[in-house]
Amino acid sequence: MDTNEKKQFFSEHLLAWYRKHRRDLPWRRSRNPYHIWISEVMLQQTRVDTVIPYFHRFTERFPTMEALANAPEEEVLKLWEGLGYYSRARNLQGAVREVQERYGGVVPDTLKEISTLKGVGPYTAGAVLSIAYNKPEPAVDGNVMRVLSRYFLIEEDIMKIGTRGIMEKLAKELIPEGAAGDFNQGLMELGAMVCTPRSPHCLTCPVMEHCAAREMGMEEELPVKKKAKPPRPEYRIAALIEGSGPQEGHILIRQRPQEGLLARMWELPHVEVPFGYADASGVPASISVLTEQLALETIGIRPGQGFMHAEHTFSHIHWDMQVVTCSLEPSVVPSGTGMLLPSHYQWVNRDTMEQYAFPNVFLKILKRYFSL
DNA sequence: AACGCGGGGCA
DNA sequence: TGCCCAGCGTT
């Protein structure tokens, strides 16, 4: 069997398999380009089961591009809370506004135009064009590279930029006439359900017969992928600053900077401390770092007792955080200013915290504190 | 080409 | 508990 026959076999059998076995997912119930676009952005680096409830809430609150374009950014961020990579949400809203203004409220249907939108790279562009408009463009994500690397025994490192190009060219050649949307979704569906990273379910695979990796017994060795660097550790100490008097039952929160990690999300005031400060014996030293740093922000605190320990792993950083309860130390606040706070600080209680978007690590601490 | 950017699932 | 899952923007 030559290469062209193997390609033809793959395309035909994968398409037929998908049409029979496709999961009934919320974003597969319409061809609304805007809804498909939302789902594809949410699905970047995020699994289907996680995305489903977010997709429902998001499309219910912002059913049209007009609704999303006109919404305050904080509300968009709040609906994205817990999903991670928050620039995806801001880019999506910015791109939708762009579509409203420049494309008359219609998601562009050409590769050139759609690729100019913020947050729309080669994968998302191909996915939206093929699924919403049935245009024969490849949509190469991690699933697709895994499937293709195995079936065609491609041993290039999939983390390399050039490998993407090889995969895209191949994926485009494989698209059956008039069936780009179903074929591309089938490729990803196979990667998610059958051709899994570990212990692939080859016996149920529609293209096992001609899978090169399977023939060589190499399905577990592919794709070849350079390992990511391990996250660097950071030691942090966070303050649960408890209000008193009018602020009884409230906790002080702080908004993060406009740019960078967790941009514009809300958090507990905290500081990074040098290695060694965060262990049991070092806690007193790290508390003084916290007190001094917050004093510079005109927040005077009197440290109380340890509340909990929290760990959180990002792709590139590991946070090891001690959380201590504190009370306010009014003497640090300049006299005459009363309870005036910097504008990026805010008191919240168990009800009003719902209005602010927090990264999961702080959400968990606050939920525990308020017994939610 | 290398790095920054979140969060969750599985053995 | 340690391993895995990865698109897009920026530099």
Same domain, A192 and A44: yes
- Chain C positions within 7 A of any protein Cβ atom are 4-9
Residue type at position A143: N
Taking only the tens place, the pLDDT of each residue in A213-230 is 999 999 999 999 998 889
pLDDT at A337: 47
Is A221 within a domain?
no
Q: Gap from A81 CA to C10 C1', in Å?
A: 24
pLDDT greater than 80 at residue A283: no
Same domain, A327 and A202: no
- Number of domains chain A is built from: 2
Q: Which domain-ending residue is among A163, A185, A216?
A: A216
Same domain, A33 and A178: yes
pLDDT at A67: 98
Same domain, A204 and A137: yes
DSSP per residue, A104-133: TT----SHHHHTTSTT--HHHHHHHHHHHH
Determine contact, residues A27/A111, Cβ cutoff 8 Å: no
Taking only the tens place, the pLDDT of each residue in A67-92 is 999 999 999 999 999 999 999 999 99
pLDDT at A329: 86
Is A240 within a domain?
yes
Could you identify the residue whose CA is nearest to the C1' atom of nucleotide B11? A198
SS3 A73: helix
Taking only the tens place, the pLDDT of each residue in A247-282 is 999 999 999 999 999 999 999 999 999 887 756 666
Q: Which domain holds residue A365?
A: 232-369
Determine contact, residues A47/A20, Cβ cutoff 8 Å: no
Is A327 within a domain?
yes
pLDDT at A278: 59
Please compute the mean of the pLDDT values over residues A142-147 and round it to a whole number.
96
Cis peptide before A334 (omega within 30 of 0): no
Taking only the tens place, the pLDDT of each residue in A174-191 is 999 999 999 999 999 999
pLDDT greater than 70 at residue A242: yes
Nucleotide whose C1' lies closest to the alpha carbon of residue A123: C7
Determine contact, residues A134/A199, Cβ cutoff 8 Å: no
Same domain, A46 and A130: yes
CA distances (Å), A365 to each of A240, A322, A358, in order? 9, 11, 10
Q: How far apart are CA A178 and CA A176, in angstroms?
A: 6
Is A224 within a domain?
no
Is A248 within a domain?
yes
Strand A301-313 and strand A317-328: the pairing is: antiparallel
User: What tokens does A50 get?
Assistant: 């996680």
Please compute the mean of the pLDDT values over residues A104-117 and round it to a whole number.
98
- Chain B positions within 7 A of any protein Cβ atom are 1, 3-9, 11
User: What tokens does A369 get?
Assistant: 């504190």
pLDDT greater than 50 at residue A235: yes
pLDDT at A69: 98
Is A167 within a domain?
yes
Q: How far apart are CA A149 and CA A162, in angstroms?
A: 14
The CATH number assigned to the domain holding A309 equals: 3.90.79.10
Q: How far apart are CA A45 and CA A83, in angstroms?
A: 10
Nucleotide whose C1' lies closest to the alpha carbon of residue A265: B6
Same domain, A180 and A314: no
Same domain, A211 and A237: no
Taking only the tens place, the pLDDT of each residue in A292-344 is 999 999 899 999 999 999 999 999 999 999 999 999 987 655 444 455 789 99
A40 is catalytic: yes
CB-based contacts with strand C under 7 Å? A 44-45, 85, 87, 91, 117-125, 140-143, 145-146, 197-198, 225, 227-228, 313, 315
Q: Residue A98 CB: number of other CB atoms within 10 A?
A: 15
In this structure, is the CB of residue A230 within 7 Å of any atom belonging to strand B? no
